[in-house]
């Protein structure tokens, strides 16, 4: 039983609607529009919203959307046939009204489609029931019944006839191959002529001469190999003598100890460091847009090649006219070759394979049936549609504005809590320090919670960052107020408990932001994922950032899907807290292979909040969607 069936234009005007139950279809249809149609995620024609499954079909020629909804626990096999039949009949019946393409005419138009729809629904349901049941095959119809009984009887000591025939055939084949081979070998022997005096040689003399040539040839090779083994032998026997340095040192413990002793528990003195080298160049308080242009592009722009401009006008004209499809509606056959090239191009740019397929399928659904202009090619149309889809994907529904949210938390007199999570070695602690510097430059005080109690050196790494950030923003420059501080309890402790104590400490001391660093963990490690879900559930941070590196391809999909699934499965809350945003690191190492950004945002529908582009504190950028798409589409 269907819950609803609705037909509306892409402008949002509902032309006709069938309501099978009393519940309104507005909520599910609006969710479909927000999550799928506006976000360019039309690769799959099915969408699940709460207890409903929605299937839809796009008519790009008349700008219509057909949506059917039913309970997801039901398996309705006739839905696809029904939506195709309704689409065909509605389009043919009201073609003139729809072609006027004016909102007023559509509003004033009457689409009396109820009886036709009920008839199509009844036919679709009956066609699914009237399937002929599969009958079992009788013995008389099998191949075994056609064989005589005598052919199936086997006596001991006798081999089956078929096997014997096969062996005879194999023997005949071998004999057949042997005969021409021997003939081809003996024929030249009888007519061969001696190289010395032109006298014909007999078969035995020819064999003897060939044998002597073979022995001489292989004898020389054996001599060479013996010489090489003899020359290599002394090298193997001799051992490399250890090098003796001119200023040789000693390995005494006292000479190797470079640590300065501390007296009476005095704090360690920071070694003299170049502040500008640590800080980096650029404005720290303002995030710059990401620039994806490579050095190859700059060189090509400075030194344009002249031969391309010196092409003949005739060839250029034919190249421009090639592929024009004047005023024609696009079909899947027209786009198939172009979409295949686009898919391979996206995969080569580090986009996950499954996501590249879904993107191309979404573009095909978006363009199928669309009428093209006179001077438009299939390649340019598909490329432009793909670019628009990619830009839309990189600009998700929710935009994270940390500075605004921190000021809102200040008005409520509480610290703003950010939790960093991710797999091992992606740069969580380093980018946490970069974000700390960015917040300090904007005048917010930061408390860093060292909740990575597993990795050796994790606390010391954060302590070093805290010392350097304190040198960049000393209390003297802020009226004696400590701007950055590390909260740590050592190793082997419960991370959720440390985070809770850090948040309470920040509330008492008046810190604006708490940045929680967690241990790196693989997405398949259930105990560590349970601990992370516990930390997030207990402390309820304002923002959960997933830190991922730009070097991954298909692994990005697996990481994000399993992180979200683990946070949902192991959470004790009724509405589990999932990932709110993404920090993309090591972006300066990938040149134009920026596909990881597409993969991560497509999977989670969450924005990329920060992009790490280097080793200094100023190497933090905000995502520029158009620059990323331009780098992605570059050949």
Return the higher-pLDDT residue of 315 and 153. 153
State mean pLDDT over 598-613.
Answer: 89
* pLDDT of res. 159: 53
Please, which pLDDT band fits residue 459 given cuts at 50, 70 and 90? Answer: very high
Contact 558, 523 (CB under 8 A): yes
* pLDDT of res. 593: 85
Q: Look at residues 120, 106, 128, 75 and name the one whose alpha carbon lies nearest to residue 8.
A: 106
Concatenate the DSSP letters of all residues of 201-216 into one string. Answer: P-HHHHHHHHHHHHHH
For 210-248, how does the pLDDT look when each residue is reduced to its tens digit (9 = 90+)? Answer: 888 888 877 655 555 555 544 444 444 555 666 655 555
- CA angle, residues 283, 606, 582, in degrees to nearest 5: 45
User: Helix 555-569 and helix 595-604: axis angle, to 10°?
Assistant: 30
β-strand partners of 420: 517, 545
Chain-centroid distance, C-alpha 388: 19
* pLDDT of res. 370: 81
3-state SS class at 144: helix
* pLDDT of res. 175: 46
Structure tokens belonging to residue 336: 């198939």
- For the ranges 301-305, 588-592, 606-610, the maximum mean pLDDT occurs at 606-610
* pLDDT of res. 232: 47
Cβ neighbours of residue 355 closer than 8 Å, sequence gap 6 or more: 557, 598, 599, 602, 603
* pLDDT of res. 278: 66
* pLDDT of res. 158: 54
* pLDDT of res. 322: 45
Residue 317 has pLDDT above 80, yes or no: no
Q: What domains are defined for the chain?
A: 2-126 (3.30.450.60), 329-392 (no CATH), 400-625 (3.40.50.300)
* pLDDT of res. 37: 83
* pLDDT of res. 372: 74
State mean pLDDT over 466-480.
Answer: 90
Contact 77, 128 (CB under 8 A): yes
3-state DSSP of 493-529? CCHHHHHHHHHHHHHHHCCCEEEEECCCCCCCCHHHH
State mean pLDDT over 587-600.
Answer: 86
Mean of all residue pLDDT scores within the chain: 77
Return the higher-pLDDT residue of 534 and 203. 534
* pLDDT of res. 556: 79
Please, which pLDDT band fits residue 301 given cuts at 50, 70 and 90? Answer: very low
Q: Look at residues 33, 25, 23, 31 and name the one whose alpha carbon lies nearest to residue 6.
A: 25
Q: Look at residues 1, 7, 5 and name the one whose alpha carbon lies nearest to residue 90.
A: 7
For 506-524, how does the pLDDT look when each residue is reduced to its tens digit (9 = 90+)? Answer: 999 999 999 999 998 888 8
Return the higher-pLDDT residue of 286 and 545. 545
Cβ neighbours of residue 398 closer than 8 Å, sequence gap 6 or more: 606, 607
Residue 463 has pLDDT above 90, yes or no: yes
Query: Distance between CA atoms of 462 and 451, rounded to whole angstroms?
Result: 10
* pLDDT of res. 22: 80
Query: Distance between CA atoms of 263 and 531, rounded to whole angstroms?
Result: 39
Query: Distance between CA atoms of 606 and 400, rounded to whole angstroms?
Result: 9
Please, which pLDDT band fits residue 438 given cuts at 50, 70 and 90? Answer: very high
Please, which pLDDT band fits residue 570 given cuts at 50, 70 and 90? Answer: confident
Contact 597, 355 (CB under 8 A): no
* pLDDT of res. 416: 96
Contact 407, 401 (CB under 8 A): no
Residue 82 has pLDDT above 80, yes or no: yes
Share of the chain above pLDDT 70, in %: 71
**DSSP single-letter state for residue 150:** G
State mean pLDDT over 385-400.
Answer: 83
* pLDDT of res. 470: 92
State mean pLDDT over 102-126.
Answer: 78
Query: Distance between CA atoms of 396 and 343, rounded to whole angstroms?
Result: 22
* pLDDT of res. 211: 81
* pLDDT of res. 422: 92
């Amino acid at each position: 039983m269907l819950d609803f069936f609705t037909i509306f234009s892409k402008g949002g005007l509902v032309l006709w609607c069938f309501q099978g139950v009393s519940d309104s279809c507005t909520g599910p249809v609006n969710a479909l529009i927000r999550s799928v149609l506006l976000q360019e995620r039309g690769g799959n024609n099915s969408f699940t919203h709460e207890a409903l499954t929605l299937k839809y079909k796009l008519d790009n020629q008349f700008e219509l959307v057909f949506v059917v909804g039913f309970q997801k626990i039901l398996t309705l096999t006739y839905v696809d046939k029904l939506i195709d039949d309704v689409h065909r009949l509605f389009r043919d019946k009201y073609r003139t009204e729809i072609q006027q393409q004016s909102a007023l005419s559509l509003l004033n138009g009457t689409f009396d489609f109820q009886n036709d729809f009920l008839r199509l629904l009844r036919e679709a349901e009956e066609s699914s029931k009237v399937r002929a049941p599969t009958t079992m095959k009788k013995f008389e119809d099998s191949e075994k019944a056609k064989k005589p009984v005598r052919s199936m009887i086997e006596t001991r000591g006798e081999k089956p006839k078929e096997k014997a025939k096969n062996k005879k055939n194999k023997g005949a084949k071998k004999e057949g191959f042997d005969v021409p081979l021997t003939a081809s070998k003996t024929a030249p022997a009888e007519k061969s002529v001696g190289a010395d005096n032109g006298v014909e040689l007999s078969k035995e003399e020819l064999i003897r001469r060939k044998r002597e040539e073979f022995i001489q040839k292989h004898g020389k090779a054996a001599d060479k190999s013996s010489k090489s083994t003899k020359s290599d032998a002394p090298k193997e026997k001799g051992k490399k003598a250890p090098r003796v340095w001119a200023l040789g040192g000693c390995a005494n413990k006292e000479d190797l100890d470079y640590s300065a002793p501390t007296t009476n528990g005095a704090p360690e003195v920071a070694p003299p460091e170049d502040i500008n080298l640590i800080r980096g160049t650029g404005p720290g308080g303002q995030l710059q847009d990401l620039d994806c242009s490579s050095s190859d592009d700059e060189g090509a722009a400075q030194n344009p090649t002249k031969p391309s401009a010196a092409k003949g006008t005739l060839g250029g004209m034919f190249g421009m006219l090639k592929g024009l499809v004047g005023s024609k509606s696009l079909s899947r056959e027209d786009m198939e070759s172009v979409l295949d090239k686009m898919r391979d191009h996206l995969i080569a740019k580090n986009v996950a394979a499954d996501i590249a397929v879904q993107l191309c399928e979404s573009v095909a659904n978006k363009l199928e049936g669309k009428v093209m202009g006179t001077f438009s090619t299939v390649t340019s149309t598909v490329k432009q549609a793909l670019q628009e889809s990619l830009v839309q994907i990189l600009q998700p529904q929710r935009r994270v504005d940390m500075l605004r949210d921190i000021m809102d938390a200040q008005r409520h007199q509480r610290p703003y809590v950010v939790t960093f999570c991710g797999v091992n070695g992606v740069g969580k602690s380093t980018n946490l320090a970069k974000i700390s510097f960015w917040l300090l430059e904007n005048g917010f005080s930061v408390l860093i919670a060292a909740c990575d109690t597993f990795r050796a050196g994790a606390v010391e790494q954060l302590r070093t960052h805290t010392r350097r950030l304190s040198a960049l923003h000393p209390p003297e420059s802020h009226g004696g107020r400590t701007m950055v501080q590390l909260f740590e309890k050592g190793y082997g402790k419960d991370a959720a408990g440390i985070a809770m104590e850090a948040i309470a400490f920040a509330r008492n001391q008046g810190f604006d932001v708490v940045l929680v660093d967690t241990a790196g963990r693989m997405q398949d490690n259930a105990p560590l994922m349970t601990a992370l879900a516990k930390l997030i559930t207990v402390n309820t941070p304002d923002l959960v950032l997933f830190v991922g590196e730009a070097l991954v391809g298909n692994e990005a999909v697996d990481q994000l899907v399993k992180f979200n699934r683990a946070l949902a499965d192991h959470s004790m809350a009724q509405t589990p807290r999932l990932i709110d945003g993404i920090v993309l690191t090591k972006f300066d190492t990938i040149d134009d292979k920026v596909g990881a950004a597409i993969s991560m945002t497509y999977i989670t529908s969450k924005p990329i909040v920060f992009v790490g582009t280097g080793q200094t504190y100023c190497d933090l950028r905000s995502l520029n969607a158009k620059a990323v798409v331009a780098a992605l589409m570059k050949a």
